[in-house]
Structure 1
Amino acid sequence: MQEMYEAMARLDQLVAAAGRAEEMVAEWSARQFVGRADEGRIVATTDALGALLTLEISPLSRKRLDARRLADEILAAVVRAEQAAAASKDELMTGLHHP
């Protein structure tokens, strides 16, 4: 009978851990990540998976940068946002594996 109580207690612990993990994933998946370039005048925002949500380009960046440099700065902002999302995912996964 003691084994049954221990098994039930362990099952309760697993269910609670799964609930906490589900909450962590839900919270993480709702986050947005920002990358900036050209001294903050270009701002890219991605979702938790790194998909681009918004891209803001200052009129000053458009005026002062040639097309190639503007493209490089846009790419830099997007990559920084994607990297922030990936780092957050890695942190989440580590937290899920080591409660």
Structure 2
Amino acid sequence: MEEAMARLEELIATARRAEEAVAEWSARRFTGRADEGRIEATTDALGVLLDLRIHPLSRARLDARRLADEITAAIVRAERAAEAARDELMPDR
């Protein structure tokens, strides 16, 4: 019975650690940059866009299509950073 209780306590402790790790990961913000760092996208852990900053120089020198491509690149980089962090947290996924 003592061995079973010890196993149960270890399982509970492991579950708490996992829950804390997930909570920490989900609260993180992830940033991706493009156009030499002049475009910066920030997402949450799920990849939801939270902030987008575009330097005036990027707006001035890039045409609309290239600006859209660079914005998309920054967002994708932020999303990939979030995915990489999730994969670190849950490698067996």
TM-score relative to the length of structure 1: 0.91
1:82 maps to a residue whose letter is E
Runs of at least 4 residues off by over 6 Å: none
Q: 1:69 and 1:19 mapped to 2: Cα distance?
A: 46
- Does residue 43 of structure 2 align to residue 46 of structure 1? yes
Q: Identify unmatched segments of 5+ residues in structure 1.
A: none
Matched, 1:70 2:54: no
2:86 corresponds to which of 83, 86, 89:
89
- The alignment yields a C-alpha RMSD, in angstroms, of 0.7
Query: Across the two proteins, how many residue pairs are aligned to each other?
Result: 92
Alignment equivalent of 1:11, drawn from 8, 11, 28:
8
Provide, for residues 11-30 of structure 1, a one-character-per-residue CA deviation record: whole Å limited to 9, x for no partner.
00000001101110010000
Return the TM-score normalized by structure 2: 0.96
CA offsets, 1:20-73, max 9 Å, x none?
Answer: 011100100000000000000000000001110000000000000000100000
Secondary structure of the structure 2 residue equivalent to 1:39: coil
- Runs (5+) with no aligned partner, structure 2: none
Query: Could you tell me which amino acid in structure 2 is paired with residue 64 of structure 1?
Result: R
Distance 1:27 1:82 in 2: 17
Alpha-carbon distance between aligned partners in 2 of 1:72 and 1:13, rounded to the nearest angstrom: 49
Higher gyration radius (CA): 1
Counterpart of 1:53 in 2: which secondary structure?
Answer: strand
